[in-house]
Amino acid sequence: MESFKNKGKDQDEMRRRRTEVAVELRKNKRDETLLKRRNVPVTDAVDEDGDKEAPVQLDQLIQQAANPDETVQYTAVTAVRKLLSSDRNPPIDPLIQCGILPILVNCLRNTTNPALQFEAAWALTNIASGTSEQTAEVVRANAVPLFLELLHSPHQNVCEQAVWALGNIIGDGPELRDYVISLGMVQPLLNFIQPDIPITFLRNVSWVIVNLCRNKDPPPPPQTLREILPALNVLVHHVDTNVLVDTVWALSYLTDGGTEQIQMVIDSGVLPKLVHLLSHRETKVQTAAVRAVGNIVTGTDDQTQAVLNCDALSHFHILLNHPKEKICKEAVWFLSNVTAGNHVQVQAVIDSQLIPLIITHLDKGEFQTQKEAAWAVSNMTISGNKEQVSYLVL
């Protein structure tokens, strides 16, 4: 029996399988948070009589935006911002082709007119929320260094708009992320995490941190992770659900980067709170938390044990009975990783009375959940000792 069940299935093979399942789950899942966001007002622009504004000629608008008279310029830049904040089909490409980018970037330099800076930053934020090429056009216009300067503006609305714009640029992918990081963006961003920061501003900061952590090919520089993790350890205790969801997803992305990044997260001290969030009242928080701890237990047996030492298994009766099938599937995936560990970890799953619930999902769950349950049982027959396998049979 021992020879049969372990044939070709050593611990390295089991670890490879755990990683393959994680990759498959990621491929089958859309991003939980938006990579880029447009800044759209609650209502469409209207004129003083309450009617919709009439269509404008872009060439004329561009000329007015470049006017040396700041009153004329401000009115025109505001009109450009409103066009780009349209709910449907904002004219990003036509405005770029008409030459709006250098004008807007130049407006960012006008430190004596923060209202103009704000409108220009808002317009550029929405351009950068578009396609990769549109975002690249903003970068090529040399907007990023100016956005970084605006992080130090004495005007909070200007700072927040610069944060939003940088978040869109970082969200385009690891190349632009690393470019923005190389210019010194991380620490000024983290400095905004203060008790008196307005909650809308903090939500933008937490969303940008998610974008900093998201990509893993390549992952963020190790120094960046060392800077970010203490901030995440603060934000993971926040009461605002939006901030909390972003923070936990950031941790899930970091724990998806291999054993070295997993260990950095564990060493940061965030793990007990992360495990506690498995039973959070908000499903969005639970979803992110079970993904994060699931990523951790794809690591080494010691890293898996760190999760179990936080009493993680006590949360899984609720998770395995959750009304959301997605959470049930990820909970079973977590347990399949644990049962691929050592005898002590297999026994912990048995002692927690979770095997009957896994078997229930094997029998009655949706197809993907059944697959994960089958792997949990299979891993147990491979990693467990004779008594543990006998328990499963009985």
- DSSP letter string over 34-80? -S------SS--B-TTSSBPPP--HHHHHHHHT-SSHHHHHHHHHHH
Whose structure tokens read 């632009």? 176
Whose structure tokens read 């800077």? 227
Mean pLDDT on 119-128:
98
Instruction: Return the higher-pLDDT residue of 174 and 54.
Output: 174
Strand partners, 52: 46
Instruction: Return the higher-pLDDT residue of 113 and 381.
Output: 113
pLDDT at 381: 84
Strand partners, 46: 52
pLDDT at 23: 52
Mean pLDDT on 146-155:
98
For 263, the enclosing helix (H) or strand (E) is helix 259-267
pLDDT at 20: 58
Q: Is the pLDDT of residue 25 over 80?
A: no
Give pairs for 17-20: CB < 8 Å, separation 24+.
Answer: 17/340, 17/375, 17/379, 18/297, 18/298, 18/336, 18/337, 18/340, 19/298
Q: Please give the mean pLDDT across all residues of the chain.
A: 89
As a 3-state breakdown, the chain gives helix, strand, coil percent values, each rounded to 5, of: 70, 0, 30
Mean pLDDT on 129-133:
95
Retrieve residue 250's tokens: 């950031």
Retrieve residue 302's tokens: 């010691």
CB atoms within 10 A of CB 223: 10
What's the pTM value of the predicted model, to 2 decimals? 0.88
Query: Tens of pLDDT along 40-80?
Result: 875 544 444 444 555 668 999 999 999 999 999 999 999 99
Residues 6+ apart with CB under 8 A from 337: 18, 21, 294, 297, 298, 304
Mean pLDDT on 101-111:
97
Retrieve residue 147's tokens: 């956005």
Mean pLDDT on 328-338:
95
Q: Is the pLDDT of residue 156 over 80?
A: yes
pLDDT at 388: 76
Q: How many residues comprise the chain? A: 394
pLDDT band at 255 (very low <50, low <70, confident <90, very high): very high
Whose structure tokens read 């297999």? 346
pLDDT at 18: 55
CA-closest candidate to residue 165, choices 115, 209, 126? 126
Q: Is the pLDDT of residue 3 over 50?
A: no
Mean pLDDT on 16-38:
58
Q: Is the pLDDT of residue 394 over 80?
A: no
Query: Tens of pLDDT along 183-195?
Result: 999 999 999 999 9
Distance CA(367)–CA(185), nearest Å, equals 44
